[in-house]
Amino acid sequence: MTTSDSLRDEVRRKYAEAAIAVAEGSGCGCGSGACCEGDASEDFGTSHYTVEQRGELPDAAALASLGCGNPTAVAELREGETVLDLGSGGGIDVILSAKRVGSTGLAYGLDMTDEMLALARKNAADTGIQNAVFLKGLIEQIPLPADSVDVVISNCVINLSTDKAEVLLEISRVLKPGGRLGVSDIVAEDRLTEQERAERGSYVGCIAGALSKSEYEIGLDAAGFEDVAVEFTHEVADGIHGAIIRAVKTTDPAAKGLPVVQPAARAGCC
């Protein structure tokens, strides 16, 4: 097993434990150690959502929130749009997104963990949401056709990938030209080396795998995005921050020297 496979399995196990804990009523996701580093659990979870938004959610969805921000607010979702949430977990952002885009829109949630998918589908059903679809898969291999999504959101998940360049390329592939990226993630200051990031927290704790601000900007530019902005919102460790990342997929890839991607479905769509 490669290091990447080992890290992915560790992330999968931690999030499965979090989902089981919530489903059994034995605790919250953060209490299971997934993406809540040390005692800094106040930096992760539903604290980033308004009281009104929390009131729209079943208790299990709120308890399973492990994110570091509120991507539904970042993305400024509109009626009738198709939105994709990468690493959708217990479904909190998919449920909120489905409400924002309305009956003429569609909200996809993508997750690799069976236990989280089961919890998310139950939470969506309990909320009465009809326009939410949950898919099993990897964020490095999104099981959707090219140019099929208006908005991609994510909440503290991209940092957990072991191939972030591929994630950014996949986001660009599934977004329509002019489509928007609006995510919350953990991002390091440029001054920190990879070793220094690892010293501040574990990979599964959303710290060691964080990209730096400039790495995010360069990666998005290379993947065919423009109007890239990475904004720190709150510090979770020395030189490590929760951040809002916004970008727009270019409408003219040739102008950026990028290949024009033809629409094609990924294998294994659930």
HSE of 88, CA atoms in CB hemisphere, 13 A: 33
Q: What is the structure's pLDDT at 264?
A: 43
Residue 115 neighbours by CB distance under 10 Å: 20
Domain residue ranges of the chain, discontinuous segments joined by +: 3-256
- 184-195 pLDDT, tens digit each: 999 999 999 999
Mean of the per-residue pLDDT values for the chain?
83
pLDDT cut 90: percent of the chain above it: 61
4-24 pLDDT tens trace: 888 889 888 988 888 888 777
CATH of 3-256, one of 3.20.20.70, 3.40.50.150, 3.40.50.300, 3.30.700.30: 3.40.50.150
Q: Lowest mean pLDDT: which of 73-77, 83-87, 239-243?
A: 73-77
Residue 205 pLDDT class (50, 70, 90 cuts): confident
Each residue's pLDDT tens digit, 257-268: 665 554 444 444
**pTM value?**
0.83
- pLDDT attached to residue 56: 58
